[in-house]
């Protein structure tokens, strides 16, 4: 069978399924996303840039639902668990824009936005953040 045709009888064919739940799984998703990209070698600023990118639907949903201070604290907590402490540049916020409390015990946060480089784009066509690594 050609590779471009879908075979419903193939047990190894990849299938995506939506699972509706009343439980808020945002925190678990956020931790999973951060750890996954951290283990692939991304630094904290790069992970935060992925949360800001609307083409990463799950990550961007966490940012929209919980706010940037929550995401920054999550990134700081996960990196610290792996022995890579994160210190954000300046400022601190106790409450996200959505009114959700920031993660307890997290790192300081900042409202400073990462500028975008209009000359470069990711595979989906979005502008790439200018990062000073």
Q: What is the pLDDT of residues 74-103, one digit of tens each?
A: 999 999 998 888 888 764 443 334 433 444
pTM of this prediction exceeds 0.75: no
Give the model's confidence band at 118: pLDDT under 50 very low, under 70 low, under 90 confident, else very high: low
SS3 80: helix
Residue 19 lies in a domain: no
Rounded to whole angstroms, the Cα distance separating 111 from 126 reads 21
Tokens linked to 5: 């045709």
pLDDT at position 73 is: 94
In the chain, what's the furthest Cα-to-Cα distance?
58
Mean pLDDT of 34-49: 93
51-71 mean pLDDT = 93
Does residue 60 lie in a domain region? Answer: yes
Tally of domains in the chain:
1
- The verdict on residue 5 lying in a domain is no
pLDDT of residue 102: 45
**In the predicted model, is pLDDT for residue 112 greater than 70?**
no
Q: Is residue 109 part of a domain?
A: yes
């Amino acid at each position: 069978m050609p590779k471009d045709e879908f075979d419903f009888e193939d047990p190894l064919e990849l299938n995506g399924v939506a699972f509706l739940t009343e439980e808020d799984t945002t925190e678990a998703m956020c931790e999973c996303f951060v750890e996954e990209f951290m283990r692939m070698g991304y630094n904290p600023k790069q992970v935060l840039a992925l949360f800001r990118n609307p083409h990463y639907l799950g990550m961007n949903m966490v940012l929209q639902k919980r706010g940037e201070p929550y995401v920054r604290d999550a990134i700081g907590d996960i990196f610290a668990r792996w022995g890579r402490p994160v210190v954000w540049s300046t400022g601190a916020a106790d409450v996200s824009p959505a009114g959700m409390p920031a993660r307890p015990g997290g790192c300081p946060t900042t409202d400073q936005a990462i500028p975008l480089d209009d000359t470069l784009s990711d595979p989906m066509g979005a502008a790439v953040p200018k990062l000073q690594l």
